[in-house]
Amino acid sequence: MLALFRPHIMTCRVAAPRGVMRWFMELRGFTGFASCWGTIYLMESLTGEERTMVLRHEIAHMEQMAREGRLIMMTRYSYQLVRVGYRQNPYEKAARLREFVWHYAERALLAGRTTLIFPNVEEYS
């Protein structure tokens, strides 16, 4: 139970992809990528709300790595990628849901709402 409240510390930075990373992201059609070495890569073509949404998604992956440990998370992520594919990967589903929840919550609070209804964010375990 105490483990739920243990803070997870991970250094993180944002950078534009270069070299092999740019080639890989273009090959896969990714506009963002959270690396296990702590860098979130964002394509320079992303602007405004789209950039914010992709950043939220990649931060969710950083949170997954911080919570489970980078090696364990990447191993489980890769296993699920092979097993069910990218879209159905539980880590991707959780990150998309987090991205949506933050977007919804920010919009609602900025619009003056004081009550938020959060969906049950089922994390991969």
Minimum separation from the CB atom of position 56 to Zn ion (A)? 11
The least CB distance from residue 9 to Zn ion, in Å, is 22
| CB-nearer residue toward Zn ion: 73 or 95 | 95
Amino acid identity of 16?
A
For Zn ion, the binding residues (CB under 5 A) are 92, 95
Shortest separation between residue 58's beta carbon and Zn ion, angstroms: 7
**Closer CB to Zn ion, residue 63 or residue 92?**
92
The amino acid present at 108, given as its one-letter code, is A
State how far the Cα of 67 lies from the Cα of 25, in Å rounded to an integer. 25
- Nearer to Zn ion (CB atom), residue 42 or residue 95: 95
Q: Which is nearer to Zn ion, 93 or 105 (CB)?
A: 93
Minimum Å distance from CB 61 to Zn ion? 5
CA-CA-CA-CA dihedral for 34, 96, 101, 76, to nearest 10: -70
